[in-house]
Chains A and B, each alone.
Chain A
């Protein structure tokens, strides 16, 4: 921890003294690196972490630059006012683009941002009011506390102050309630939705955040250059920002700085070196640059930052501090059953996966859903939790129909679940994975997180998650990356995550699969004690020993149909169940 901090402090000190001794040319480069880093930082968050590719960053930089250029030169507005106007314009455009593309799954954002990037470039180039392709000049320098920042060395401090602030804010954001959900967007979309995250909304928020960073960079750029034309905001530059993020290492905020530095310096160096080397002018730097990028990616798919991070000391995990517990869910004992599945049917093309299935689960009960592989049990779970839409029928939770609701709405109503195919974020710690479960119990949004105002609540969430981990007996692995646990333990982490959501109904999909005998016994003990506290549990399980000893009632499925229902003893005696379950060749 200290040594990692040491590295950061060292960098900041180096940045602070650089303009004092470096030649002007270096300072100019450093200024551009700062501006590019800020824009690429948005892409690290959006593309590297959240998995959404955007080509439109340069266009958002362009909005920031052109808004201030136009309004300060033609209407003599204060640059600080134009910054606010630029941010507002950017926000509106980003919201619109995000709204139409990010609610769909697929490659729509990159496509929309290409269109947006190209169109805006031509708009800038063709509007007389914006100076056409020649652009706008004579932009006034920024004035800070009465000092005009005309000198690049002075402007340097402003740029890097803002850049470092953006890095700090983004770093904070990633280490927060929303940040955990953002980090899970790429590999765990269904999972976070099951814990109450409105993933589409979150993606839009991240996209807007990235666009706003780009806009600030553009505003700074305009007052640094004091002149704007369309070229630096075209689609090629948009692509280059993506380059910086990916080549630098799109998984870490520092990847943005590394990528921006690497690409800026490399281009500069190639421009100087190649003509000297080849003895002729030409676009060779583009050729060499392209080939180098391909090579870097062939040898370091995760970017150059990975190489650097390996050398740096690993940061120690934040300890969990004691904090008051989060408020438990207000529970009103429903008069009737907690969960009612009424004549539910699900068809996939010609395949009927669940066929007119009905059953109920009453409060405080442990019900087992069993049946041979492929009988439709996991599909039933998906229908109850909203991961799949119903073809027909109704599902009621606490008397309220949830059959038409998205998963994050159903989670809000007290449903916690685990998945048959474990859905943990392998690179995140056990604690962070479990804390995703408590998403709905926190309130802090992106802004509070970025400004580090969420710490009190964050401590509560972490303490709550740690308690859930302790409850399932994995405290020793609290800070271990979830991906490095054995598969059986990963299933247990899933249960802890569901518990952290303080559910009224717990859906467990094959919780005992891959567990050894003693682990299974511990799990059974845990589930019994949860039941004793009033928890209602519906579980799918293949291990008959486990199911028979634990459940109050069993529902047996075969070919999507309910084959039988009853106590474990009745089910074991049922001839039809034996035939279906044990199979046989007559």
Chain B
């Protein structure tokens, strides 16, 4: 468990475990996200990163505890967690492909609009200001967008829910470097506007560069954690990801 000092974290998970049938995919992971910070979880494919986010979001059943905003959310449904500002941008984006970009954006604020929050429309203007490409393509079906635009739409849709904690699953997946840069600069800007972020990435270097604190997940366990700068310099991280420790002769 994190022993970092500071105010109460916005997200605190303790001993979280997930099983698929009889196979345990996540073995008691503990992790915390401080209010207003970016925390990253890195690790190879199959380490359980997406499983971790699914458990926090409530789309997967889990054991252990998840405290969000100081309250136990284990019994809440996914929708209740979304309404409380816990929002996930999944790896597969999960856009409404046959619907227009504008409809996708609007539905991001579904819970708020249903509650009758009038400023939801202002959020839409903010999203379009942040992603001018989406405004250009507002009447196009989401399924016709390119990879980078899809990621922007997924992010924009998530922002419509006005998240307090935004969880991003591999936002750089399949994107050109220039788009990755854009996405990461948006992530940094979001932090500046007060959103806490839990970032799951395979692109370790970029993730550690923008984040404050990092965890390394391997085969369902947290094997390493620390301030992002420290982790970036840790030879074990470099070895896992960059293959630099192994010369071909070895």
A residues contacting B by CB (< 8 A) are 349-351, 372-375, 426, 483-488, 490, 510, 513-516, 542-545, 547-549, 559, 567-569, 572, 579-580, 582-586
Contact = CB atoms under 8 A, between A and B. Distances in A.
Given A373-B173, A374-B175, A351 B147 contact: yes
A486 B23 contact: yes
Contacts of B193: none
B177 A580 contact: yes
B248 interface: yes
B45 to A, nearest CB: 5
B23 A487 contact: yes
B46 A544 contact: no
Contacts of A350: 143-146
A428 to B, nearest CB: 13
Contacts of B205: 582-585
6 smallest A-B Cβ distances: which pairs?
A374-B174, A544-B243, A583-B203, A513-B46, A514-B46, A484-B22
Interface string B19-33: 001110100000000
Interface string B38-78: 00000011110000000000000000000000000000000
A528 B246 CA distance: 18
Given A542-B45, A549-B248, A487 B22 contact: no
B181 interface: yes
B233 interface: no
B113 to A, nearest CB: 29
Contact residues of A: prevailing secondary structure? loop
A349 B181 contact: no
A204 B146 CA distance: 40
Contacts of B145: 350
B131 interface: no
Given A350-B146, A373-B173, A487 B25 contact: yes
Given A549-B250, A583-B206, A542 B143 contact: no
Contact of A488 (B219, B242, B250): B219
B125 interface: no
A373 B241 contact: no
A488 B25 CA distance: 10
A547 B172 CA distance: 23
Given A372-B203, A374-B173, A513-B45, A586 B21 contact: no
B84 interface: no
B23 A548 contact: no
B184 interface: yes
B45 A585 contact: no
Contact residues of B: prevailing secondary structure? loop
A585 B146 contact: no
Contacts of B46: 487-488, 510, 513-514
B177 A426 contact: no
B202 interface: yes
9 contacts: A349-B143, A373-B174, A373-B202, A485-B23, A549-B248, A567-B248, A582-B203, A584-B206, A585-B210
A470 to B, nearest CB: 23
B169 to A, nearest CB: 11
A585 B209 contact: yes
Contacts of A548: 243, 246, 248
B245 A484 contact: no
Contacts of A580: 177
A586 B206 CA distance: 9
Contacts of A487: 23, 25, 46
Nearest to A570: B248
Contacts of A572: 243, 248
Nearest to A481: B22
A138 B24 CA distance: 65
A575 to B, nearest CB: 13
Contact of A586 (B146, B176, B181, B219): B181
Interface in B162-181: 170, 172-177, 180-181
B239 interface: yes
Contacts of B45: 373, 510, 513, 542
Interface centre among B23, B144, B146, B210 (most CB of A within 10 A): B23
Nearest to B176: A559
Contacts of A510: 45-46
A548 B239 CA distance: 12
A52 B173 CA distance: 36
Interface centre among B44, B146, B176, B250 (most CB of A within 10 A): B44
A372 B241 contact: no
B21 A483 contact: yes
A568 B170 CA distance: 27
A585 B184 contact: yes
Contacts of B44: 513, 542-543
Nearest to A560: B174
A116 B99 CA distance: 36
Given A484-B21, A485-B23, A542-B44, A582 B146 contact: no
Interface in B97-119: none
Nearest to A486: B23
Contacts of B242: 544, 582
Contacts of B174: 372-375, 559
A175 B209 CA distance: 56
B121 to A, nearest CB: 29
Nearest to B150: A351
Nearest to A374: B174
B177 A579 contact: yes
A80 B184 CA distance: 77
Contact of B248 (A374, A569, A585): A569
B132 to A, nearest CB: 19
B146 A545 contact: no
B177 A583 contact: yes
Given A349-B144, A583-B177, A544 B21 contact: no
A579 to B, nearest CB: 7
A98 to B, nearest CB: 31
Given A484-B21, A583-B180, 8 more contacts: A373-B174, A484-B23, A488-B219, A514-B47, A542-B44, A547-B243, A559-B174, A584-B177
